[in-house]
Amino acid sequence: MDDVQRIGRVGAALTLTLVALAGCASSSGGTTARRTKTQPGEIGIGLSEPVTRVYADACRSAGRLDPVGTSADDLVKALDAQASTDATVSAPSLNGLAWKRVDLAQAPGLDRATCRHGAGGPLQIWADVEENAYYALAPDTIGTVLTTEVDGDRVVVVSTIDGRATSADRAALEDVIASLEVVG
C-alpha cells in the first residue's frame, strides 16, 4: 500500500508500520519520520532505541540516570514519576495490541532557565549510559511515548509535536499513532 510506511525493525522478525504522514521524510536509517525538522511546527514519530535508563528529573539530572526495568509498565512508571515533566498515562488498544501511552509536557511552573541546558535547552527524558543516544523535549514541544510488549520484547515508539503545529497537523499525527501496527 502506498499509504503505509515501515519505520524500522522491532526485533529479528517484527516490523513497525504506520500510515504515512503526508510530507514526512524518513531519517535515521528508516526508524523515524519527521516533517519540518528544526522549524516551527515540527512533528515526528519514530521507533526508539532500547530504553534502559530514565532521568529522575528531566531538568536537573545531569549524569544521573536511573535504571528502568524491561517491561512496558516499568517504563511507564519511571516516566510518570519523573520530576519536571507532566505525564498523562492512558492505555489505548491499537490494531488489536494493548499499548501504554504517556503524553509528556513541561511541568507547570517549571523555570527552564534553572535546568541543566538553560531556558532554550531540552528537557531530558532518557539516555543511554554515555548520554549520547537520548530522547528529549525542546521548549514548547510535547512528547508521546507509546510502549507495548511483543514476544517478550518491549517496543517503544516516540512522537513529538511542536506547540506551534496546526490543529490539522496534530490530528494527522494522532491518525498515524492510531495506525501503529507491529507485524511479523
Q: How many domains does the chain have?
A: 1
Contacts of 158 (CB under 8 A, 6+ apart): 45, 46, 48, 135, 143, 144, 145, 146
Q: How far is residue 53's CA from residue 167's CA, in Å, rounded to a whole number?
A: 33
Place of cell 501511552: 101
Domain containing 111: what range?
4-183
CA 19 centroid distance within chain = 17
What value does the mean pLDDT take over residues 142-156? 89
pLDDT grade for 16, boundaries at 50, 70 and 90: low
pLDDT level of residue 180 (50, 70, 90 thresholds): confident
Q: How far is 126 from 134, CA to CA, in rounded Å? A: 6
User: For residue 171, what is the domain's CATH number?
Assistant: 3.40.1000
pTM of the model: 0.85
Local confidence band at 91 (pLDDT 50, 70, 90 cut-offs):
very high
Query: Distance between CA 63 and CA 83 in Å, rounded?
Result: 15
Contact 13, 178 (CB under 8 A): no
Q: Chain-wide mean pLDDT for the chain?
A: 81
Asked if residue 138 lies in contact with residue 122, where contact means CB atoms within 8 angstroms, the answer is: yes
pLDDT score, position 23: 56
Higher pLDDT, 175 or 122: 122
Ordered strands of the 100-106 beta sheet: 25-27, 32-35, 43-47, 153-162, 141-150, 100-106, 85-90
